[in-house]
Structure 1
Amino acid sequence: MGVVIAATGAVRGTGNTSAVEGAARAARDALASAGVAPETVGVLVNAGIYRDSNMVEPAMGALIQKAAGIGLEYSENDPRSFSFDLMNGACGVLNAVQVASAILVTGSTGRVLVVSGDTHPSLTGTDATEDFPYATASGALLLEHADGPAGFGPVHTELADGPVAVEGFVDTATMGTTGRSAMTVVRADDAERRIVDVAVTVGARALADGVDPLTTVLISSRPTPGFAAALSAKLGIPLVSGVEDTADVHTATIPLDYHRAIEAGRLSGARTVLMVAAGAGPSAAACLYHLPEPNTR
Structure 2
Amino acid sequence: MAGIRIESVGVCSKQRRKKRSSIDLATRAANECLKESVYEKGDIELLINTGVYRDEFITEPAIATIIQKAVKINPATHGDKGKKTLAFDILNGGIGFMNGCHVAGTMIKSGRFKTALVLTGEIENNAETKNGELLGYAELGAAIILDRSQNPGTGFGKFLFKTFHDHIDSYISHLAQDRGETYIHYKKEDNLEERYLACIPATVEDLLCKEGLQLGDIDIILPPQISSDFIAELSRRIGVARDKLVDLTELYPDPFTATMALTFKYSKENNLIKRGDKILFINVGSGIQIGCAIYYC
Interval containing the TM-score (normalised by the shorter chain): 0.7 to 0.9
Match of residue 157, structure 2, among 147, 153, 163: 153
Match of residue 120, structure 1, among 124, 132, 137: 124
Please give the alpha-carbon distance, in whole angstroms, between the structure 2 residues aligned to 1:246 and 1:48: 17
Question: Does structure 2 retain, via aligned residues, the 8 Å contact 1:50–1:119?
Answer: yes
Question: Does structure 2 retain, via aligned residues, the 8 Å contact 1:41–1:113?
Answer: yes
Please give the alpha-carbon distance, in whole angstroms, between the structure 2 residues aligned to 1:149 and 1:69: 34
1:1-297 mapped onto 2 (5 Å cutoff) = 2-13=3-14, 17-72=20-75, 74=77, 76-121=80-125, 124=128, 131-147=134-150, 148-162=152-166, 163-171=168-176, 174-179=177-182, 182-208=183-209, 209=211, 210=213, 213=216, 216-237=219-240, 238-240=244-246, 244-245=250-251, 247-268=253-274, 271-291=277-297
**21-30 or 256-265: bigger deviation:** 256-265
Offset at residue 242 of structure 1 (A): 6.0
Offset at residue 189 of structure 1 (A): 1.6
Please give the alpha-carbon distance, in whole angstroms, between the structure 1 residues aligned to 2:38 and 2:62: 27
Offset at residue 166 of structure 1 (A): 1.4
Question: Does structure 2 retain, via aligned residues, the 8 Å contact 1:199–1:283?
Answer: no
What is the TM-score of this pair, normalised by structure 2? Answer: 0.87
Please give the alpha-carbon distance, in whole angstroms, between the structure 2 residues aligned to 1:133 and 1:48: 15
Could you tell me which amino acid in structure 1 is paired with residue 259 of structure 2? T
Partner of 1:295: none
**57-66 or 208-217: bigger deviation:** 208-217
Shift in CA distance, 246/14, structure 1 to aligned 2, threshold 3 Å:
same
Please give the alpha-carbon distance, in whole angstroms, between the structure 1 residues aligned to 2:38 and 2:45: 16
Q: Where does structure 1 lack aligned partners over 5 or more consecutive residues?
A: 292-297
What is the percentage of aligned positions where both structures have the same residue? Answer: 23
What is the TM-score of this pair, normalised by structure 1? Answer: 0.87
Could you tell me which amino acid in structure 1 is paired with residue 72 of structure 2? G
Please give the alpha-carbon distance, in whole angstroms, between the structure 2 residues aligned to 1:77 and 1:269: 41
Give per-residue Cα distances to partners, 1:72-94, cap 9 Å, x unaligned.
25575521102111011111111
Could you tell me which amino acid in structure 2 is paired with residue 55 of structure 1? I
Could you tell me which amino acid in structure 1 is paired with residue 43 of structure 2? T
Offset at residue 39 of structure 1 (A): 0.9
Shift in CA distance, 26/246, structure 1 to aligned 2, threshold 3 Å:
closer
The CA RMSD measured in Å over matched residues stands at: 2.4
Please give the alpha-carbon distance, in whole angstroms, between the structure 1 residues aligned to 2:148 and 2:186: 38
**71-80 or 105-114: bigger deviation:** 71-80
Offset at residue 284 of structure 1 (A): 0.7
Q: How many correspondences in the alignment? A: 284
Give per-residue Cα distances to partners, 1:188-215, cap 9 Å, x unaligned.
1211111112222222222332157265
Q: Please state whether the residue corresponding to 2:195 is helix, strand or coil.
A: helix
Please give the alpha-carbon distance, in whole angstroms, between the structure 2 residues aligned to 1:226 and 1:57: 38
Please give the alpha-carbon distance, in whole angstroms, between the structure 1 residues aligned to 2:217 and 2:201: 19
Q: Please state whether the residue corresponding to 2:180 is helix, strand or coil.
A: helix
Runs of 4+ off more than 4 Å: 13-16, 73-77, 122-125
Q: Where does structure 2 lack aligned partners over 5 or more consecutive residues?
A: none
Offset at residue 105 of structure 1 (A): 0.9
Offset at residue 246 of structure 1 (A): 5.0
